[in-house]
Amino acid sequence: MLNLKTLTKKLLFLLTGGGIFYYLGHLIWVNWREVAPRLAAFDRVWGGVAVIFGLLHFTFCVLIWEVTLNKLLVENLPIGKGFRIWSVSQLGRYIPGNVWAVIGRMQMCRQENIPHSKTAVSIYLEMILVIAAACILFLAGLPFWPALIPRAQIWLLVALIPLLLLSVHPKIVEGLLNRLLIWKKQSPVKINLGWEGLSQLLFLGILNWLISGAAIYSLIRAIQPLSWSAAPILGGIIGISWLFGVMAIFIPSGIGVREGVMTWLLSYHLPLPLASLTAILARLLFLLVEVIFLAVVMVLTREKNN
């Protein structure tokens, strides 16, 4: 029998995620005459390029975490096991709560004799850097969006970029991490990271969002022409959309929330029905890529173990 808390979460999921998907689907349906020819003329070559960029995006996700754990926290985890742990634990994102991927990764790392505290620190640090990278890339693209925000306000927001860069200073990162650890009732830690190491991880995070933007760009090109200059902007769009999806902790993998934010932001560059279509296709693209990535990792790591 469902308790009140579980029932509330399910209702929030249905009302929020389901409601947004219904709205996006309705947009596509009422504009089907405009959308149908685009789907019928879907360019498989550009679709294949989108899949390749998607696979590269997931590869960088694993590498960013492994660099954090192995190089910066001095834990000797073989790269094959790191890929397997990250890929399998990501399945937890589809369970309400947005914490099961973290718990799964911690448990799998524990089987490799890595303490929960070390894994938790690497995950928190990874999240801080990835969020900072998404915000920086999004803010850097705002000058190309005069219709989104008045230009005077845009430059005020862009001026926040140096503050975000400062936010990954070792002292600030360590303080933020320890606040998170104390909140989770874990012992504070000392992070032996220099400014150079954190800057390199931040750069990898920004590069990874650009790669995901290239995947979305390729996906859009599969249904309609689009200027190359839009690719960096798309990286910021998907980064911020992902962030809103993560904040919706009661919705598995931010389903619906991510698509709603992406549709809104893409609508400044594409007709609204095509923006909605792109957001839904992006969800399907990354779901397909995740399945392919997991299958490849499982096969390669199994062969290596055998």
Q: Average pLDDT for consecutive 10-residue bins of the chain (306 residues)?
A: 56 63 71 82 93 96 86 71 90 73 86 80 84 87 68 63 73 76 71 75 92 94 86 88 82 80 88 89 92 92 62
Q: Can you give the pLDDT at residue 199?
A: 82
* Res 3: pLDDT: 60
Maximum distance among all alpha carbons in the chain? 61
Give the pLDDT of residue 1.
46
Q: Which helix (H) or strand (E) holds 165?
A: helix 161-166
Overall pTM surpassing 0.95 (yes/no): no
What would the two tokens of residue 79 be? 């790269």
What is the pLDDT at residue 285? 94
The set of residues, in sequence order, having a beta carbon less than 8 Å from that of 94 and lying 6+ positions away, is 252, 253
The reported pLDDT for the residue numbered 11 is 63
Name, in order, each residue with C-beta under 8 angstroms of 219's C-beta and a sequence gap of 6 or more.
46, 47, 50, 278, 281, 282, 285
Contact 262, 238 (CB under 8 A): yes
